[in-house]
Amino acid sequence: MSVPLLSGKVFLLVTGASQGIGKQITESFATLLGNGSVVLLIARNKNALKETAQKLPKSLSVHTASMDLSVATADELKDVVCKALGSESATQFEKAVIVHNAGSLGDVSKPANDMKDFEIWRNYYNLNVFSPAILNGVFMELFNKETKVTRLVVNITSLCGIQPCKSLAYYCTGKAAREMFFKVFAIENPQVNVLNYSPGPVETDMQEVLRNNLGDADGKKTFNDIKASGSVLTTEQTINRLMEILKLQNYKSGDHVDYYDKQDLKQ
């Protein structure tokens, strides 16, 4: 599949690249990048990151950074990106792409009334809202409009960011806040292409947690029924759809686009 936004010499940064959707994004996007492109993968699991990196084309310069994004400072994040750039100037790239995929469900066993611990809320938002916002700012500082580089921001969001689900107050509010940040970023930066992509129900560790541990019985049954009906998507299915959406570009920058949205019908 040809995707102009991912062609040529690209600097690609993917968070949460060690497993699941992030791993698939990395592997699928990497096949489209031109020779000499630089790929930076960030996640906590060092060994899993290396496994992802080893699967990428040898024509790419691949860098990994094992770090906990929930406690990383802006300076630390900038250092990681600068190390990946090395002697390369940001102006040497045709495209700069950042995929904000890293995130967590949080405790899915409790109703909203039982979520009374400030520290748990702070830790959740540090990883799921604050770190992508800060990393995005660092990325845009390095690949600013003066570089003349085409910039693409993909935020992996969820239907839960626009639709409430019982026992998922951490996840729903985190996704909503994160998505709204990128919507604001999009209208403030019209020269940047921004997509909030909702990947649908994908067979990942998160889906297993929802099927086994969700506190709301009806919701738990729904997730198990989705699995039983064979409706759970593979990571390859949802990322192929993401690439199709990026190829067609029939969305307004900042839009929430779901796997099931018929973007190809929007002319």
Predicted TM-score (pTM) of the model is 0.95
Instruction: Domain ranges for the chain, please list them.
Output: 4-204+234-259
Query: So what's the pLDDT on residue 1?
Result: 79
> Which residue in this structure is represented by tokens 């909702």?
198
Is residue 250 packed enough to be buried (19+ CB in 10 Å), middle (13-18) or exposed (0-12)? middle
205-209: long-range contacts (C-beta < 8 A, 24 or more apart)?
205/19, 205/20, 206/20, 206/105, 207/232, 209/105, 209/108
CATH number of 4-204+234-259: 3.40.50.720
Mean pLDDT by 10 residues, the chain (267 residues): 92 97 97 96 96 95 96 97 92 97 96 97 98 98 93 97 97 98 98 98 92 93 93 96 96 97 59
Position 204: which residue type? T
pLDDT of residue 262: 80
Structural contact between residues 129 and 47, judged by C-beta atoms closer than 8 angstroms: no
Specify burial of residue 148 (Cβ count, 10 A radius: 0-12, 13-18, 19+): exposed
Q: Are 156 and 92 in contact (CB under 8 A)?
A: no
pLDDT of residue 264: 54
State the CB neighbour count (10 A cutoff) for residue 137: 13
Q: Tell me which residue of 183, 155, 169 sits closest to 254, measured CA to CA.
A: 183
Task: Kindly state the tokens that stand for 4.
Answer: 């102009």
